[in-house]
Structures are given as C-alpha cells and as structure tokens.
Amino acid sequence: MTTSFKRHELPIASSMIDAANRVRPRRDGLHPFDKFFLLWTAFNDIYNVIAARVGLNTQLKVGEDGKVETYTNGNVKIPKVIPVSESEQINLAVQELGNQLKDLLVMHESTLFFLNRTPYWQGKPIEMDAFGQKLNGVLNVNHTTGAEFPVWSPIDRQIYDTYLANPDNDKDRDFLVGQIVSLLHTVRLNLVHFSKSFDDGNDIAVAQNALSLLEIIVGSFIQ
C-alpha cells in the first residue's frame, strides 16, 4: 500500500494540487505544461518530506580537524555542505509506492506510449544510437550533444515483455517503475531547458503522457 499523507501534513503539495485542478485546458485539450509543473512541485514537496523522515538531510561539510569547512562571499564566511541528491529523494518516494499502484503505472497506456516512442533531437527522430541501440522514451535535452551519442531515459523493452509474461515478478515491476519515474524527471528537466525547435524539450504529446503518469503518482500520496 502506498504511503499517504493528510493534506495538512503537506501544505505545499496540497496547494499545488489544488492549483493544478484549477487549470482549464485549451479548446484543443492540449495544455499540459503548466499543470505538469504544478504537480511536479507537489511531488518535490512529497519526496523531500519522505527523505527527511528517514534522516536524509543536507549535512555540514567537516574537515579532518573536526571544523566546519567554509567558503568566502565577500567578507562573509558561508559553511560548505553536502547536499542531498534529488535522485536519492525520488528513489525513496518510489519505494513508498504500493504494488497495485506500480502495476497501474507499468500497464498504463502512457507507459506504452514511451515504450514505443522514437525520441527527437533538433527536429529529427533518432531511431538508433552509435552503439546500435534502438531508442525509446525521451532524450535528456540538456545532456545530449548529438544524435550519435544521445543521453536518454528508456523503458527497457526486454524487461517490459518479461514483466507482461510474469506480472508477479517484483524485481521487474520495481525496475520498470524506477525507469518511469526517472523518465518523468527527465521530462521535467527538459521543460526547464527546452530548445525552440520541435524535439523532446517541447513535445506536447510527451508532456501530456508524462502528466498522466505524474497525476497517478502524486494523487496516491495525498489523502
């Protein structure tokens, strides 16, 4: 069963969800970007709280002499810290999802969309990379330097097919859900750094399908 919070325990997430629910679509029904950002902000609040509950917090950086390390900003000393990895926080949140919800995510039509999708780079599809791998999912636009060696968030077709043959396999289910959430994180990064041409940074269909999955995840955490 997915860990859930009462609304007063996550006021920021609850506020973002309320704001997302007030978003009205355009007449063509395609208006996913603002709603996606609102729900990702809610998810950000959720995985921050989950990480803090298990003691995953930013730590002061201390030297061998036991003193707090600092850097200078003008005439001011600022302590150095070891920040918490956002990926670690997200992974902790994924671990809180129940198996029934994980099954729903893996079997969702939007996951199938990403499984069968060919990513775009600078307006052109990339079907294969220089390693001979068939691409799917989405590119990380900010980290991709060219079509030969794209950086991408995949949905593993072999593991997906194995899961379909045996949906009670916890290992395959958990792996695929991890890929799905990592893909959603990549979509969020792309929306921050997207380019002006048609590619993974501003593909409406990508944002719309990512939103469908994100809505399920965020909604599962709030009572």
Residues 18-51: pLDDT tens digits?
999 888 766 666 668 889 999 999 999 999 999 9
State residue 23's pLDDT score. 83
CA distance 183 to 140: 9
State residue 96's pLDDT score. 93
Calculate the CA 99 to chain-centre distance.
19
Q: Which amino acid is at 116?
A: N
State residue 142's pLDDT score. 87
CA distance 182 to 177: 8
Strand partners of residue 71: 78
- How many other C-beta atoms lie within 10 A of the C-beta of residue 119? 25
Going by pLDDT thresholds of 50, 70 and 90, the confidence category of residue 197 is: low
For residue 44, what are the contacts with CB-CB under 8 A and spacing of at least 6? Answer: none
For residue 32, what are the contacts with CB-CB under 8 A and spacing of at least 6? Answer: 204, 207, 208, 210, 211
196 has pLDDT over 60: no
For residue 145, what are the contacts with CB-CB under 8 A and spacing of at least 6? Answer: none
Mean pLDDT value across residues 122-126: 89
Going by pLDDT thresholds of 50, 70 and 90, the confidence category of residue 191 is: confident
Going by pLDDT thresholds of 50, 70 and 90, the confidence category of residue 186 is: very high
